[in-house]
Structure 1
Amino acid sequence: MSITNTVVRRPTTIIVIYLLLVALALVVYPNLAVELFPEMDLPMVIVYSTYQGASPETMESRVTKLIESGVSNVGGIKTISSTSSEGVSMVMLEFAYGTDLDKASQSINDNLNLFGDMFPEDATKPSIFKLNTNMMPVMNIALRGSDGQDANELREVVKDFVQNRLERVAGVSSTSINGGQDAFIQVAIDQNRLDAYGLTVSQVAYALNPQNLQVGAGSLIEGDLSYLLRTDAQFSSLNQIEEAMVTSFPKYDAKGNVIGSNVVRLSDIATVSYAYRDATSKVYINGEPGVYISVSKESDANSVQVAKRINDLIVDLNKELPKGMSLEVIVDTTSMIESTINTVYQSLLYGVALVMVVLFIFLRSIKSTLIIGISIPISMLLTVLVMFFMGYSLNLMTLTGLILGLGMTVDSSIVVLENIFRYRERGAKLHAAAILGTKEMIVSITASTLTTVCVFVPMVMLRSNLEMLGEMITPMAGTIIISLLASLIVSVTLIP
């Protein structure tokens, strides 16, 4: 029995199947990731390491060259470039498009572990970063102060109060603060006093380090109770730092006997105060120094939903911020996404309306016109369902594919319906017209649809050969292929 006979003789089964598929598509649609551009794993891996206080020459000889030696035998590398600056080493590896960066990163990590003992003790363990378009922030939020607060004060509020709250929002992966400088405690040593006591800067540092520790001291058991003990020697105020003992000298009496000691405290040789780190960059918002925080989303998160949650949180935070301060969104990339999605909805509605008007003019049948009008959104929902399971997201390229495919999705359905309608005009019965009309056109519409599909298949198959262009257009081509095949299935199974 042919597929046409099956679908015509069992309409209830087919309708139930389509209802289930449509319901599933409506369920997964809100969970479909929404972003500005397709997720692209750029074939670049960065290996980053720091070594406090080291000169560029030292970084080059003791860190950068070791990293280059460790990664040189990793497969698939096209070029290796490195930059060594004061305290920072950065090695950039470019791979061929199509390389599995997860495996490449694991291979890099395994090779660097073999060189672990050769790195300087004070150097940080090399960190591996894969470049991905999801690293781009989806939103920038500025903190404004109307009572004359400077950028450093605003940065402290963002760091202590706003940043943690934003990072707890579902779908947010990371945040970064721009503008202002971080505060730190500065110990300014007077060289003349240091020379008078016969001390060096290294001795002062060595004396202070053990006095700013919190160390576990075991446990104490008393009956059924066990007490955890700790030695808390961390500084909690500037006064405690100033009173820290640096060294001591014995005190003698007139006979030369030791009668005590003279304690040299930090306040005797240095001035302790709060200060701000030197600015490496400055942020101006509307011509005034300011602070903003950039928010990046998780790779599989819906950008629009994440932005909505952040906007809801901003409303709550503005009620809790100190007087005269307020948060304001200055960049929101999801606004373009929402605009594009709205365009797709409008195109869908206009397309359905115009197709139904044209069909009604030629077929003069309300029933036939409604059938085509229903087939369009069903084809679109099936396309969205397949996109979800294939890991596609809603972005500018896939939405463009949906818009381009919208006009082609009704072609097969119109051809089949018009042929069925022609048999009905000749006097054929309902079932016979549906079966004969569909059978007569099934080969033609299949060949026509596959011909169009074959135009886009090479774009998907040759994705790595097209490099960056392939990363951009493959989601669009894939979406068009899915929508065409979905429309073919709908025209053969649902329309009859």
Structure 2
Amino acid sequence: MKVTTYAVRRRIAAAVITIAAVVLGIYSFILLPVNFLPDVTYPLIRIHIYWRGATPEEISTNIADPVERQMAQVDNLDYLESSSIEGMYTLLVNCKYGVNVDVAYQDALAAMARVARQLPKDIDPPVVFKADPSQLPVVQLTISSDRWDLTKLRTWTENWLQYQLQAVPGVAGTDIVGGLKREIRVHLDPNAMEKYGLTLPGVIKRLSEENIEQFGGRVTVGRREVIARTMGEYRTLDDIRNVVLANGGPGKIYLKDVARVEDAHEEVRVITRLGGQPTVKLSVLKQADANTVEVARAVNKRIEQLTPSLPAGVKLGLVENQADYVSAALNGVRNAAIEAAILVIAIVYLFLGSWRHVLVMLLALPITLILNFALMQLGGFSLNIFSLGGLVVAIGVVLDNSIVVLENITRLRHLHPGQTPEEVAETGTAEVGSAILAATLSFLALFLPFLLVPGLTSLLFKELILVIAGIVCVSLLLAITLTPLLTSLLTGKHAESPKDGRFARFFAWVTDGYGRLLSSALKHRLAVIGVFVLLLIGAVILFPWLGSEFLPRMDDGRVMVKVKLPTGAALTETGNLLGRVEEKLQGDPLVESYVTMAGGKVWGLTTYEIANEGQIDIQLAPRHARKTGTKAYIAQLKKTLAPISIPGARPMVMQPPVKGIRKVGEADIEVKIKGQEIDQLFDLARKTSESMNKLAHFTNVYVSMDMTKPEYQVEVDRVRAAELGISVVDVASSVRSLISGQVATRYREGDYFYNIRLMIPEQHFTSRQEVENLVLNCAQGGYLRLRDVARVIPAVGPVEIAREDQVKEVIVRGDAAGVSVGRALGELKEAVSKMNLPVGYEISYGGQAQMMAEMQRSVLLILAFALFFSFVVLAVQFNSLKLPALILGSVPFCLAGMVYTLFLTGLPVGATVIIGVLIVVAATVNEGVLLLTFAEELRQHDNLPPLQAVISAAKIRLRPRLMIALAIIFGFIPLALNLEEGGEMLQPMAAGAIGGLALGLFVALFLMPCLYVFFTGRRDGQFHSSTPPEANHRSSVQ
């Protein structure tokens, strides 16, 4: 091969080029960003619309209907999901994978522009943004003070602290929860208003008119231009109190005559606590393409700089720092890579028996990995758990080509001792060049289909796959250039022989024994094939018993306790129940910190205000500092919290999903019941919930919709209202303004603005009669009570209305307990199948179950493409259909080893396992290519019958086969043992791959030769008691 000749003959040039490439690789490594997961762009658009005080039914009718009709026309739409809760509408526009998310975003903006005029006038401006799960908090801190109240603390955080942190490079923004948001409240006295003949719209109008600062124009004074400005903004609260509302009659009527003005705060809807004490929580969000570790460290450094200048009594507490966990997880994968490399080199030394040969591998391995960093930087990749996992996976594979070349050069040196080291290196590399090229192409044919199949699985593992593919390509280049160069330099003409020494003699004895064993197996090849078929049948039987989940749970120490009280429970009741949980957590040595949020739930970057719900986010001590795993702690905490309950509510303990990966749903399994009538949907959901609670493997079961939220429904008498000169719209707006309050204008203090809200004092409304006595004003003048034109009826309504593709749905959520998600889902489907659904209603499954269904479809397509492309490559190489079919026919027997290993270890089948499947398939195909290529050459050049040809080929292939298989297996052992933080993600893949490769070794040693003889026949019927000697000729072997 010309490139080999160039490398061997022009050593200095080849060395300089290699050194330059290594320098480039090291520089690229320094530039690579560091994240926990790959940067994945999801085709997802999120829309939020706030409509203060509106009920879920109002939002569903007035916002969801028109918006979703327009969004349904967006190109490449997959499906729509929406949620309508009190005061807030959320819509997820899920587009098909592969769609340009920027184009989808523009389409969504255009759809919102078309529907804008159909929406209620008093909503907040709709917020449309591209949902990016990677844009999550990298640092979360709490702000507390023993001198300031929560209003002042929240105001200081909003007006000063958040801007200090937003200035840090890489920070996208901040999110503040808790504390009390400042606003100026004007508490109107209804009796005084009625006495002076004042109306709410009139008061709002006067307050707004008196609060203005406006440009008046320019005046030329001599040679100077002077700007005229009207300065009418409120400067103090007394300015607001002294606004004249009316002039005449009894005299001037000031606002202070009919209202009490106070510097207060907005209605308390969410309570946050740190360790049981009130606090404000601030989350720092990173930019999507920023380096997680660098941003987190920069934020921490900025916090350290700000600490000396904090106001007296103010304390900042760090409750989450992504840099710590990301660094620990990546260090764990790095350590696994180092351990894998050491084990691989040890295996190579064991089989080659020469430190010079090992030195060749020691140089080839790091150079290959370093050069790949340049490819990663060129591809825009980051250092994350998957890309580094690809490096670990490839460590065992990367030496495959170099071992093939080195072993063949070593073998030829003893067959042709008269040749120079350079000649032997060139000849040995040329002999195996076509074989390793075909094996590499077959390997790539198995992995590259990942890039052709759209879906979440492909997006997540894109970097891992391309890293492996890049390393294999680099290893091929180095195998035909650097390896022969180093071999000729380091081993020399009088190199030590691998056959010298005890191990060489021992292995010669093993080779002879293997030859006799294989000869016997070939005589009884039908029995051997039968044994492997039985193993395959056993694996097929066991496969349904394997657990399944999308991604493994991480032992990251994050635990969540959620509570959901009966609908209508006050915020204080939610806070009290969470307080009882906090008492159990106090003093727990395993708990590092815990943050409580009462009155809401977090979904992505959004906090939903729901008074009867709450959660506690618990962070355990780092993994190395505790002996109890996250899963075990959750089981322990469930027992601890079991006595805590109130009628209709109990704490639910769970592990949050992996951050940075798109979350589909809120639980492991979600049963989506779709139809039109809410009452019927709720009844079906109740029955489904009862079925789930009866199953032993479900926990944290609850229904998304609750039809028992108490409400007062105001039914307007249209005829009576028309007679009195008031419309239904007037009634509705007056009721909302009087009860919820209405922002009239804003109060400026320095550079910051605060709402001025007019409202009836909250304590004024304690019964239905007080609602009925609300004072309304007529168009013709005068006043009337709400009871004069409407009835106030006690009723119940839904807490939330969920829809999918414009169809109402109720979701029953639950987590798997004690078994995998796949097994729990199977049990649930069997139970649900017994339900009788009315016509027009249907059931589907979401949550992690939906992600698993998408994964299964993607995996089937990936495997189909991989096997097809591999068959094409093999058919082209062999110019035969029989031999490719023989090689690929051996694959299922190897995969049976993965099933047995996963079953014995109790590890589930997930998205990462597919990588192990492809590694096993690639190893099987590579071995088949090399074994059958050599056997075919023996038949063609030496006229050996198939039986003798395959025995000779198998004997020569024994040492490299064992060396490569054991190198890959030992390379996976550190990941399979899961000794480092973050190893849970890749453990099932590694364990499954070890089982598949182990059984694949026996498939290569015995089953494949039997199949070869079975399919190709034999030219002589003579079986020899001893196997034929090795052929001394050119070969394409490892």
C-alpha distance after superposition, 1:52-99 (max 9, x if no partner): 555545434443322122222222223334333444333333333333
Q: Given the alignment, which residue of 296, 312, 321 partners 2:301?
A: 312
Q: Given the alignment, which residue of 454, 458, 475 partners 1:470?
A: 458
Q: Secondary structure of the residue that 2:176 maps to in structure 1?
A: strand
Q: Which runs of 5+ in 1 are unaligned?
A: 252-261
Q: Given the alignment, which residue of 435, 451, 456 partners 2:447?
A: 456
Distance 1:432 1:65, change over 3 A: same
Alignment RMSD, CA only? 2.7
Q: Secondary structure of the residue that 1:133 maps to in structure 2?
A: coil
Distance 1:41 1:355, change over 3 A: closer
CA distance in 2 between partners of 1:148 and 1:126 (Å): 38
CA distance in 1 between partners of 2:224 and 2:426 (Å): 84
Q: Secondary structure of the residue that 2:198 maps to in structure 1?
A: coil
* Counterpart in the other structure of 2:401: 412
Q: Does 1:205 align with 2:204?
A: yes
* Counterpart in the other structure of 1:167: 166
CA distance in 1 between partners of 2:264 and 2:27 (Å): 54
Matched ranges for 1:57-68 at <5 A? 57-68=57-68
Using structure 1 for the length normalisation, give the TM-score.
0.88
CA distance in 2 between partners of 1:30 and 1:157 (Å): 39
C-alpha distance after superposition, 1:251-307 (max 9, x if no partner): 8xxxxxxxxxx3322212211111122222222222222222112211111111111
CA distance in 1 between partners of 2:456 and 2:55 (Å): 37
CA distance in 1 between partners of 2:116 and 2:219 (Å): 39
- Number of residue equivalences: 482
Matched ranges for 1:269-348 at <5 A? 269-348=258-337
* Counterpart in the other structure of 1:483: 471
- What is the CA distance between 1:151 and its match in structure 2? 4.0
Q: Does 1:84 align with 2:72?
A: no
Q: Secondary structure of the residue that 1:39 maps to in structure 2?
A: coil
Q: Which runs of 5+ in 2 are unaligned?
A: 486-1038
Matched ranges for 1:359-374 at <5 A? 359=348, 368-374=357-363
* Counterpart in the other structure of 2:135: 135
Distance 1:17 1:282, change over 3 A: farther
Task: Please tell me whether the aligned partners of residues 79 and 93 of structure 2 are also in contact (alpha carbons under 8 angstroms).
Answer: yes
Task: Please tell me whether the aligned partners of residues 52 and 123 of structure 2 are also in contact (alpha carbons under 8 angstroms).
Answer: yes
Task: Please tell me whether the aligned partners of residues 137 and 296 of structure 1 are also in contact (alpha carbons under 8 angstroms).
Answer: yes
Task: Please tell me whether the aligned partners of residues 215 and 229 of structure 2 are also in contact (alpha carbons under 8 angstroms).
Answer: yes
* Counterpart in the other structure of 2:420: 429
Distance 1:362 1:186, change over 3 A: same
- What is the CA distance between 1:170 and its match in structure 2? 0.8
Task: Please tell me whether the aligned partners of residues 132 and 288 of structure 2 are also in contact (alpha carbons under 8 angstroms).
Answer: no
* Counterpart in the other structure of 1:258: none
* Counterpart in the other structure of 2:1003: none
CA distance in 2 between partners of 1:13 and 1:209 (Å): 81
Distance 1:51 1:434, change over 3 A: same
CA distance in 1 between partners of 2:221 and 2:427 (Å): 92
Q: Which is bigger in relative contact order (C-alpha 8 A, separation at least 6)?
A: 1
* Counterpart in the other structure of 2:104: 104
Q: Does 1:447 align with 2:446?
A: no
CA distance in 2 between partners of 1:247 and 1:291 (Å): 42
Task: Please tell me whether the aligned partners of residues 62 and 120 of structure 1 are also in contact (alpha carbons under 8 angstroms).
Answer: yes
Matched ranges for 1:157-236 at <5 A? 157-236=156-235
What letter corresponds to residue 36 of structure 1 in structure 2?
F
Q: Does 1:36 align with 2:69?
A: no
What letter corresponds to residue 199 of structure 2 in structure 1?
T
C-alpha distance after superposition, 1:7-31 (max 9, x if no partner): 3333344333333333333333333
Distance 1:280 1:30, change over 3 A: farther
Using structure 2 for the length normalisation, give the TM-score.
0.44
Task: Please tell me whether the aligned partners of residues 39 and 133 of structure 1 are also in contact (alpha carbons under 8 angstroms).
Answer: no
Task: Please tell me whether the aligned partners of residues 336 and 392 of structure 2 are also in contact (alpha carbons under 8 angstroms).
Answer: yes
CA distance in 2 between partners of 1:344 and 1:55 (Å): 50
What letter corresponds to residue 475 of structure 2 in structure 1?
S
Task: Please tell me whether the aligned partners of residues 293 and 322 of structure 2 are also in contact (alpha carbons under 8 angstroms).
Answer: no
C-alpha distance after superposition, 1:216-268 (max 9, x if no partner): 222334455434443232222212211222222268xxxxxxxxxx3322212
Task: Please tell me whether the aligned partners of residues 56 and 87 of structure 1 are also in contact (alpha carbons under 8 angstroms).
Answer: yes
- What is the CA distance between 1:418 and its match in structure 2? 3.8
CA distance in 2 between partners of 1:229 and 1:29 (Å): 60
Distance 1:82 1:366, change over 3 A: closer
Q: Secondary structure of the residue that 2:271 maps to in structure 1?
A: coil
Which sits farther off after the overlay, 9-18 or 350-359? 350-359
Which sits farther off after the overlay, 316-325 or 350-359? 350-359
Q: Secondary structure of the residue that 1:79 maps to in structure 2?
A: strand
What letter corresponds to residue 323 of structure 2 in structure 1?
T
CA distance in 1 between partners of 2:382 and 2:54 (Å): 44
C-alpha distance after superposition, 1:427-454 (max 9, x if no partner): 5324323322322222232233333333
Task: Please tell me whether the aligned partners of residues 38 and 382 of structure 2 are also in contact (alpha carbons under 8 angstroms).
Answer: yes
Task: Please tell me whether the aligned partners of residues 46 and 130 of structure 1 are also in contact (alpha carbons under 8 angstroms).
Answer: yes
Q: Secondary structure of the residue that 2:264 maps to in structure 1?
A: strand
CA distance in 2 between partners of 1:125 and 1:29 (Å): 44
Task: Please tell me whether the aligned partners of residues 334 and 388 of structure 2 are also in contact (alpha carbons under 8 angstroms).
Answer: no
Distance 1:375 1:212, change over 3 A: farther
CA distance in 2 between partners of 1:281 and 1:494 (Å): 64
Distance 1:20 1:234, change over 3 A: farther
Task: Please tell me whether the aligned partners of residues 139 and 299 of structure 2 are also in contact (alpha carbons under 8 angstroms).
Answer: no
Task: Please tell me whether the aligned partners of residues 337 and 391 of structure 2 are also in contact (alpha carbons under 8 angstroms).
Answer: no
Which sits farther off after the overlay, 432-441 or 265-274? 432-441
Q: Secondary structure of the residue that 2:67 maps to in structure 1?
A: helix
- What is the CA distance between 1:148 and its match in structure 2? 5.6
Distance 1:446 1:97, change over 3 A: same
* Counterpart in the other structure of 2:712: none
* Counterpart in the other structure of 2:9: 9
- Which protein has the larger Cα radius of gyration, Structure 1 or Structure 2? 2
Task: Please tell me whether the aligned partners of residues 137 and 294 of structure 1 are also in contact (alpha carbons under 8 angstroms).
Answer: yes
Q: Secondary structure of the residue that 1:138 maps to in structure 2?
A: strand
CA distance in 2 between partners of 1:213 and 1:372 (Å): 78
Q: Given the alignment, which residue of 375, 378, 396 partners 1:389?
A: 378
CA distance in 2 between partners of 1:269 and 1:96 (Å): 58
Task: Please tell me whether the aligned partners of residues 144 and 278 of structure 2 are also in contact (alpha carbons under 8 angstroms).
Answer: no
CA distance in 2 between partners of 1:451 and 1:267 (Å): 85
* Counterpart in the other structure of 1:256: none
Task: Please tell me whether the aligned partners of residues 213 and 231 of structure 2 are also in contact (alpha carbons under 8 angstroms).
Answer: yes
Distance 1:192 1:479, change over 3 A: same
CA distance in 1 between partners of 2:349 and 2:102 (Å): 55
Distance 1:190 1:435, change over 3 A: same
Distance 1:453 1:193, change over 3 A: same
What letter corresponds to residue 37 of structure 2 in structure 1?
F
Distance 1:316 1:201, change over 3 A: same
- What is the CA distance between 1:199 and its match in structure 2? 0.7
CA distance in 1 between partners of 2:419 and 2:240 (Å): 99
Task: Please tell me whether the aligned partners of residues 134 and 296 of structure 1 are also in contact (alpha carbons under 8 angstroms).
Answer: no
